[in-house]
């Protein structure tokens, strides 16, 4: 049964049966024909500061834009007259079988885009049989998410001392997460001028601009902000440490997110000794760092420039992917994120050796536009593109893709 079949049933990694049973989708989704379409729709639905936080990157957005442009440098070499009638896009990773070779990247403060945003993303991923990575900078306790969606991965930003690191790792383990992702590319806070220009700040400060934007977008104001306050009180950063973090409006927020410039590989080695499950290091770009991650015992890496949100001018991970895979060997799980919008983007990464691609902003936009239905629709669009493209490439499984399926444009 193909991935784009109407009523396909798949098993999520947690063993939950998921069906694409007919449900009447929100009318707006009829206009969402690709992941690109969600961005403009989300811009219209979110207050400018919230949208600006999601869409923006560091300084001149050069790395963010290069993450998209790099895909145009590759063209496919198709194979014809191949029997692809039994094609599947399922992949295996860390002992779990996923229905597609993509997942939902970690995105901070998703609960400001849509009510209970982290749960919205995790539920949609669970039902579709793909992985979702919960961000440490979330506003919902990790325990709430993993209890409902056991296949979710957790992504940590590490505090600056070993005792607090150990306590956080222990909390993640007690919560029941199986895969721990440690993001390592934030020794200091980035220069995000886009946030200032759009009116977003950390801590989040009430302002006339935010109030006015909220009044202009009453659906967001009522269904997301006021509903959150009424049911859960003031949002806090729930998962940065072993204990509850600061309120999102607290002046101590930046202090909690600082003091990371002393982290080193010895901290990763200590986590490896303490964490019993799959350990993934995210935020690498170069071969040397990837080799070091493998050497200290990480079970996989996610090549990433943080969506262009840290060092502006950092290379797109697609530019180093093939070299990293060659250095680490084809059996070692190399994953990637940054700029993925089309099924063809995912397949290009797989052809260069990636085991899985993670997609961030479009799923956040989809959640803002139509909640869980929007994320399910976005997953379905990407899955259908992959299915069609695999057929036209002449491959019946993801593992059949290799560098010979691509050429670099002159």
Residue numbers in the known binding site are 53, 106-108, 135, 155, 157, 183, 192, 282, 304, 306, 309, 337-341, 360-361
Structure tokens at 125: 């991923």
181 φ, ψ (degrees, to nearest 5): -110, 125
Residues 6+ apart with CB under 8 A from 366: 32, 35, 38, 42, 374, 375, 377, 378
Annotated binding site for FMN: 106-108, 135, 155, 183, 282, 304, 337-341, 360-361
Q: Residue 9 carries which DSSP code?
A: E
- Catalytic residue, from 36, 232, 267, 306: name it: 306
Taking phi over 0 as left and psi of -120 to 50 as alpha, with beta for the rest, 74 belongs to beta
Which residues participate in the annotated binding site for glyoxylate?
Answer: 53, 157, 192, 306, 309
Virtual torsion, Cα 157, 236, 373, 69, nearest 10 deg: -40
Q: Name the one residue in this structure whose structure tokens are 């949100």.
A: 309
Contact residues for 163 (Cβ-Cβ < 8 A; gap 6+): none
Q: How far apart are CA 330 and CA 355, in angstroms?
A: 9
Indicate if 232 belongs to the active site.
Answer: no
Give how far Cα 182 sits from Cα of 10, 133, 272, 298, Å. 29, 11, 11, 10
User: Which residues are tagged catalytic?
Assistant: 306
């Amino acid at each position: 049964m193909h991935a784009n079949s109407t009523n396909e049933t798949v098993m999520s990694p947690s063993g939950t049966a998921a069906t694409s049973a007919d449900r009447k989708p929100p009318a707006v989704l009829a206009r969402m024909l690709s992941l690109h379409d969600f961005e403009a729709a989300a811009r219209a639905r979110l207050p400018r500061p919230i949208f600006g936080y999601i869409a923006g990157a560091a300084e001149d957005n050069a790395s963010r834009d290069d993450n998209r442009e790099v895909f145009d440098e590759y063209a496919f070499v198709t194979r014809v007259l191949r029997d692809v009638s039994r094609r599947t896009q399922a992949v295996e990773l860390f002992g779990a079988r996923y229905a597609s070779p993509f997942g939902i990247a970690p995105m901070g403060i998703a609960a400001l885009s849509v009510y209970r945003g982290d749960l919205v993303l995790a539920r949609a991923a669970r039902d579709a049989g793909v992985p979702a990575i919960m961000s440490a900078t979330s506003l919902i306790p990790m325990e709430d998410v993993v209890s409902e969606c056991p296949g979710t991965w957790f992504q940590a930003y590490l505090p600056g001392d070993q005792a607090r690191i150990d306590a956080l790792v222990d909390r993640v383990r007690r919560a029941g997460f199986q895969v721990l992702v440690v993001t390592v590319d934030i020794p200091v806070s980035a220069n995000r001028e886009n946030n200032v220009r759009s009116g977003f700040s950390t801590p989040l400060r009430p302002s006339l601009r935010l109030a006015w934007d909220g009044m202009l977008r009453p659906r967001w104001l009522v269904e997301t902000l006021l509903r959150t306050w009424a049911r859960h009180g003031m949002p806090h950063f729930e998962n940065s440490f072993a204990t509850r973090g600061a309120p999102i409006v607290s002046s101590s927020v930046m202090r909690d997110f600082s003091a990371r410039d002393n982290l080193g590989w010895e901290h990763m080695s200590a986590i490896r000794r303490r964490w019993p499950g799959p350990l993934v290091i995210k935020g690498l770009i170069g071969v040397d760092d990837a080799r070091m991650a493998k050497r200290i015992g990480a079970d996989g890496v996610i090549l990433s420039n943080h969506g262009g949100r840290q060092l502006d001018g950092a290379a797109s991970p697609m530019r180093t992917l093939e070299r990293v895979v060659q250095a680490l060997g084809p059996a070692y799980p190399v994953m990637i994120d940054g700029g993925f919008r089309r099924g063809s983007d995912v397949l290009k990464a797989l052809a260069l050796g990636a085991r899985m691609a993670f997609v961030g902003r479009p799923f956040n936009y989809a959640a803002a536009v139509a909640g869980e239905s929007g994320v399910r629709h976005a997953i379905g669009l990407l899955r259908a593109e992959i299915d069609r493209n695999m057929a036209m490439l002449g491959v019946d499984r993801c593992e059949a893709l290799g560098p010979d399926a691509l050429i670099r444009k002159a």
